[in-house]
Structure 1
Amino acid sequence: MNKTTLVMGASTNPSRYSNMAIKKLRNAQVDVKAFGLKKGKVIDVSIDTEPIDYDSIDTVTLYLGAKNQPEYYNYIIGLQPRRVIFNPGTENPDFYKILKANDIESEVACTLVLLGTNQY
């Protein structure tokens, strides 16, 4: 299970779900890239503040509300992930349609729950 995941909306604040997700993903031996508003580090994962064209992103897990997602549509599609996970509070039917048109799965789920139940 070494498929690279990009956490969008990453935070160094330990009480944020994106922070918890990075820790759980790393504990599950998943390679993680992170994008957020502020530079920082969570365990061994550096948070980038500029979109980077990563190679081989399998999953993008969103911690950005729907109103903050449109500016990243093209970026996420350009990464050509297998799937995009919409965590609670990030649901966005408009983006689901765009992803489907680009042959990218969208999954409305909680990354933490998926990891905790071995469904990631």
Structure 2
Amino acid sequence: MSKKTLVLGASLNEERYSNVAIYKLRKNNIETVAIGLREGLVDDVKIHKEWIPFQGIDTVTLYLNAKRQPEYYDYIISLKPSRVIFNPGTENPEFYKLLEENKIKSEVACTLVLLGTKQY
């Protein structure tokens, strides 16, 4: 079963974890959409600059540090994902609470590890 995933903070730089995550998500046949600072293509996934009201998002995986997250709170909640993954360096207790209030699970984990260990 595919868990449609939004990679938020996606990068065109192949050395960035968000970029590697897109490749690994697609390798695992997970439908993937992405938003970043620059438009471009990673594997077969277009990185958008604008906030698109994507439908059917199961998971949002964050690659934005806590200081950059507040402007995205309402947007992420509006997508009604099942969960938000806080990758290393993105931990944010304020946002965990807000997600919980909106019945969205927060998970402090590494998307790459979850995929690698078949726990995604």
Residue type at the aligned position of 1:13: N
Residue 12 of structure 2 corresponds to residue 12 of structure 1: yes
Q: What does residue 75 of structure 2 align with? A: 75
5+ residue gaps, structure 1, are: none
Residue 86 of structure 2 corresponds to residue 97 of structure 1: no
Moved over 2 A (4+): none
Q: Distance in 1 between matches of 2:18 and 2:46?
A: 13
Q: What does residue 47 of structure 2 align with? A: 47
SS of match in other structure, 1:118: coil
Q: Distance in 2 between matches of 1:3 and 1:61?
A: 11
5+ residue gaps, structure 2, are: none
Q: Distance in 2 between matches of 1:2 and 1:91?
A: 25
Q: Distance in 2 between matches of 1:12 and 1:117?
A: 25
What does residue range 30-69 of structure 1 map to in structure 2 within 5 Å? Answer: 30-69=30-69
Residue type at the aligned position of 1:94: E
Residue type at the aligned position of 1:9: G
How many residues are matched?
120
Q: Distance in 1 between matches of 2:77 and 2:40?
A: 25
TM-score of the superposition, structure 1-length normalised? 0.99
Residue type at the aligned position of 1:26: R
Q: Distance in 2 between matches of 1:86 and 1:66?
A: 10
Identity within the alignment, %: 66
Shift of 1:2: 1.1
